[in-house]
Amino acid sequence: MNQKTLIVQAAEPAIMYSGMMWFDTDDDMLYQRDNANAAWDTIMKEELAHTITGLHTFDLGANPPFAVDAASTQVVNLIADDHAPTHKDGGSDELDVSELAGAIGAAGEVPETDGAAVAWVDPDLRYEPKVHAPTHKDGGTDELDVSELAGAIGAAGEIPETDGAAVTWVDPDSRYDPKAHVLATTGPHTDTLPLTDLAVGAQGEIIHRGAADWEALAVGVDGQVLMSGGAAADIAWEDHDKALHDALNIDADTLDAFDATDFPRIRDTQKNLQIAGVGETEICAYTIDGTDRIMRVGLFFRIITGDTDITATVKYTNVLGAAITCTLVDDRTLAVGDYTYAPVIFEIEDSSEITLNITASVADRVFASGTIEELV
């Protein structure tokens, strides 16, 4: 039997094939055998049919699924009231073409409803700019139009300005004058900080606050430094040597400007003198002039390449007139390294010479540094 055979009988066919058709005359049901040939799939029931091209008759029944042209017995369209949307006003009929004012409006139109029907409208006629206008400074609610912007767009570089009633475009330089922000000589200043009188100052001048107003400090002499006078005092240019003197609280003698009142005074100094011989070498010396003095001597050694025997002495005449040799380092063997000795103080006769001397057992192994200071 061909698989495509339609069997019409009350009983299930004895031989069954996948895809075969069987119309059960007892139940008025049309079945088709499934692909696995394991069960029957229901196709349709006779009472819900109408004749289709003479093959079979389907009864439309009380709620037919199709609308049928009576003259041609052809299905012409789905019955719309089964699929109609619900309207805003509660209607249950379809949203038809008439309710969409022609279904599709003209290019650029938008749909609009009045609560009963939908129409297509030009949005420019409904959504006027004044609906979205900003609130004016004076409380107005209409749009900020071109006339209120003095031509809408000003000239290049201009900015908008309002006088409280209208907006105009203005040149910012005519409103925000730089001279309003410069420093003048009169004061005190409570608003802007004018700089008028300093606008023509010379290169290198410094703006500073004077006793009553802002002032310009003229350019100093080459090499001078700026010094503060402290609280409630002006700044000033001063020579470098005086500035250093005041900053370090030392006397002018340390800067080679000796006088009779400043102490302490560095009378002689030596730095990194290499001891070239094996005899006594004088590294610092000074002769007292006129008055007995208290002197201070400091000493530093650096030994290089190997151990060296060192003797260091200070020679002078004391206030009793006796010649004194004071031994700072007594024939001591020093290894390679650095050695610093604490300063030693001596009382010296008014016309005596004081010397600092080094003796090394091996030449060129010792570098010596020393100072002779006058304390009082």
Tens of pLDDT, residues 19-38: 889 888 888 888 899 999 99
Cα angle 143-115-94, degrees, rounded to a multiple of 5: 135
The H-or-E segment that residue 82 falls in is none
What is the rounded distance in angstroms from the CA atom of residue 293 to the CA atom of residue 356? 16
> For position 51, what pLDDT does the model report?
44
What is the rounded distance in angstroms from the CA atom of residue 64 to the CA atom of residue 46? 13
Sign of CA dihedral 100, 104, 105, 111: positive
**DSSP annotation of 173:** H
AA identity, residue 227: M
**DSSP annotation of 207:** E
AA identity, residue 321: G
> For position 165, what pLDDT does the model report?
78
Contact between residue 105 and residue 99 where contact means Cβ atoms under 8 Å apart: no
171 three-class SS: coil
**DSSP annotation of 56:** B
Instruction: Report domain extents, the chain.
Output: 6-76, 131-173, 177-218, 265-374
Residue tagged 């079979």 (tokens): 56
> For position 1, what pLDDT does the model report?
42
**DSSP annotation of 96:** -
> For position 143, what pLDDT does the model report?
62
* Residue 372, CB-side half-sphere exposure with 13 Å CA sphere: 24
Q: Which residues of the chain have pLDDT under 70?
A: 1-5, 46-103, 127-152, 176-201, 240-263
Confirm or reject CATH 2.60.120.660 for domain 265-374, answering yes or no: yes
